[in-house]
Amino acid sequence: METLKFKTTIKCSGCVANVTPFLNKTAGQDNWSVDTQNPDKILTVSKQDNITPAEIVKAVQEAGYKIESLN
């Protein structure tokens, strides 16, 4: 299974809570995680079906955070 990685501005558990509905809808529950301990706040998404990096970027931006692909 392919994983997608992104640098984000999701910096705390509150931010994760804010972005959760957007990412759950796009990537699916339990298919993503954010390493808030990493200085780059890395979002890792397990690629499901035909999901594209652009769809993940859009979901995070709709939640109000910055994101850029690392793949």
The 10s digit of each residue's pLDDT in 3-40 is 999 999 999 999 999 999 999 999 999 999 999 999 99
3-69 is a CATH 3.30.70.100 domain: yes
pTM, whole model, 2 decimals?
Answer: 0.93
| Dihedral over Cα of 17, 67, 58, 44: its sign | negative
Each domain of the chain, given as residue ranges in start order, spans 3-69
